[in-house]
Structure 1
Amino acid sequence: MSIRTEKVASLLQQELGAILEKELPRSSALSTVVDVKVTADLGIARIYVSVIGTEEQRTAIMAWLHDETKYLRKLLSAKIRHHFRRIPEIEFFEDRIYERASRIEQLLREVRKAPEQHD
């Protein structure tokens, strides 16, 4: 990524994080904007969201994000319009990195607990 796209991605991550904190439906799930990838022409921003909660909560939050993409882009536009001529289209993707990391940690703990077996 170029310096420009990195700066745009960082700004979008910060602003979308604040927007989602206020706009997401209240549930016991924790949602975080983990990463933002912006195309070289700044036309599309891929937003990676981590949702920690039950499968139903993850599904509901991701469905809400997809349904409300236009509304969220409008809110984003109101916050950052002085930075851009054109606000990128936004696409939401679920990032399950924390879930995978937890599983790896669990497996490592199990391996450490298992007594050493010699053949």
Structure 2
Amino acid sequence: METTRQSKINRLLQKELSDIFLQQARAMQGILITVSTVRVSPDLGIAKVYLSVFPSAKGPELIKAIQANVKQIRFDLGKRVRHQLRVIPELSFYIDDSLDYIENIDNLLKK
């Protein structure tokens, strides 16, 4: 069960991370990155960030690049939320493939 504090922090981190990725994605033409969900652990020490990437074929290489720069992303996030949070959670990034799954089901139903 998610507490009210966790859900508020989830929304805050989602908003700030989406702003960070928006600034970074401007340099990469033709790639759209969306922060679909953020889930913070009960002790607020770990945040699982689910990213939706378009085109989805570039997802795995983009996640590798993000994992390589996770310290810089966490630092940028810390500068943005330093007045709201005491401890900036460790970030782990995952691909959100729910849109691909939905598209696959739609294609199967059309047949």
If the length of structure 2 is used for normalisation, what is the TM-score? 0.92
Would you say the 8 A contact 1:29–1:54 is kept in 2? no
Who is 1:74 aligned against?
A: 75
Q: Indicate the residue corresponding to 2:52 in structure 1.
A: 50
Aligned to 1:87: 88
Alignment length (residue pairs): 109
- Structure 1 residue runs of 4 or more that deviate by more than 4 Å after TM superposition: none
Whether the 8 Å contact between 1:37 and 1:47 is mirrored in structure 2 is: yes
Cα deviation code 1:68-98 (max 9, x no counterpart): 1000000000100000111111110111000
8 Å contact from structure 1 (residues 42, 88) kept in 2: yes
Distance in 2 between the 1:40 and 1:47 partners?
Answer: 15
1:39 equivalent among 22, 25, 41: 41
Shift of 1:6: 0.4
Contact 1:9 1:38 in 2 (8 A): yes
Deviates more, 1:97-106 or 1:57-66: 57-66
Q: Which residue of 2 aligns with 1:28?
A: 30
| Aligned Cα root-mean-square deviation (Å) | 1.1
Conserved 8 A contact 1:29-1:58: no
For structure 1, list consecutive stretches of 5 or more residues without a partner in the other structure.
111-119
- In structure 2, the gaps of 5 or more residues are none
What is the TM-score normalised by the length of structure 1? 0.87
> Identity rate of aligned residues, in percent?
32
Provide the C-alpha distance between the structure 1 equivalents of 2:56 and 2:43, rounded to a whole number of angstroms.
Answer: 37
Q: Tell me which moved more, 26-35 or 36-45.
A: 26-35
Distance across 2 between alignment mates of 1:29 and 1:101: 20
